[in-house]
Amino acid sequence: MVLDESFKHAKSKTVGLKQTQRALEKGRVRRVYVAKDAEAHVLRPILEWCDHHQVERIEIPTMKELGKVCGIEVGTAVAAILEDS
C-alpha cells in the first residue's frame, strides 16, 4: 500500500486528532490522512482547515486500517505527515 510506505518513511508525523490539530495550527502539515468511517463532527474542523490552507488530504476506508498503517493497535480518525523541520 502506498500510504503504508510514505507514512512509514516520513521523518515527522502525527497520529490522532489533537496532535494533528496542533500541527495544522503551526502550519507544519504536508499531508493529512482521514478515515472515512470517522464521525463527521470529529473530521469537520480538520477537513475545513485542509480546504482553506491547501493541505493535501487522503481518505482511508476505515479508522482500523488507518491505525494499523500508523503502527498502533487501535483505530484513529486522523494522521498526518509533517514538513521536515
CATH number at residue 55: 3.30.1330.30
- Amino acid 67: pLDDT: 94
- Residue 57 is predicted with a pLDDT of 93
What is the pLDDT, as a whole number, of residue 35? 96
- Quote the pLDDT of residue 85: 58
Number of domains into which the chain is organized: 1
3-class SS letters over 43-70 = HHHHHHHHHHHCCEEEEECCHHHHHHHC
User: From first to last of its 85 residues, what are the pLDDT tens digits of the chain?
Assistant: 456 678 878 889 999 999 999 999 999 999 999 999 999 999 999 999 999 999 999 999 999 999 998 989 999 999 999 997 5
- Structural domain including 70 reads 2-82
